[in-house]
Amino acid sequence: MNRAQVRIRIHNLLIVLACIAYGTLSLAAQQSPSKPTSGLQDLAIQAIHVVVSQEALNSFSPEPKTGKPLSTKGKWLVADQAPSACPKTTESCVKVLYRVPEAEVSCEWVVLLEGDGSQGNILEQNRDASQYFVQKLNHRETTNQVLVRKMPTYPPIALAAHVTGLVELQVIVDQDGKPSNVTIVRGPEMLRASSM
């Protein structure tokens, strides 16, 4: 596992821990007597981890009321009953919700956990989830989809000043495979323009 993957896993774990610490992880309905609360809470934590490891808030999709990106202060919930999209032969399938009531947004995913629950697949998602979240791709997945690779021109001023480093960009790719929005996340100032 490389540094970036470790950073992403730590980041995702911190999100889940923050949800628990701030009380934003709750159950969508009353517990049934046959399922103990701690078992459902463990399932909820694992399912939320799967969602945050595979999906990210789309900062380029504003919510209609404010015209700003969807709030990161929403509430994570997990339904206590398996949705119809879940296979009948498993109990490790749940509906995960991310609700932002003031925006009237409810993003929903059906998650099927695998093995020990640390991995899983998203079987279904609703329209809000598709609008306000984007799928994360790892380095291997993105490398396999690159049709043409054009390396940036190293700026002469940065070369003369011995400036090196990585520039991290957030890129939204449209359905035609073209970048529709590019934002600089971080990196040396002298290298940013050529990276764009």
- Say if residue 11 is in the same domain as residue 65: yes
- Size of the chain in residues: 196
Residue 142, domain member (yes or no)? no
Residues of the chain with pLDDT under 50: 5-37
Residue whose structure tokens are 């529709």: 180
* pLDDT score of 81: 79
pLDDT for 123 equals 93
Query: How many domains does the structure of the chain reveal?
Result: 2
pLDDT value for 29: 37
How does pLDDT run across 144-181, given as a tens digit for each residue?
A: 767 777 778 889 999 999 998 888 888 877 777 778 88
Residue 38 is predicted with a pLDDT of: 59
123 plus 164 within the same structural domain: no
Check if the beta carbon of residue 109 is closer than 8 Å to that of residue 135: no
129, 153: one domain: no
User: Are residues 19 and 88 both part of a single domain?
Assistant: yes
Determine the pLDDT at residue 171: 81
Instruction: Compute φ and ψ for 172, nearest 5 degrees.
Output: -100, 125
In a domain, 16, yes or no: yes
Can you tell me the distance from the alpha carbon of 20 to that of 41, in angstroms, rounded to the nearest whole number? 10
Residue 116: what pLDDT?
84
Confidence (pLDDT) at 129: 93
pTM for this structure? 0.60
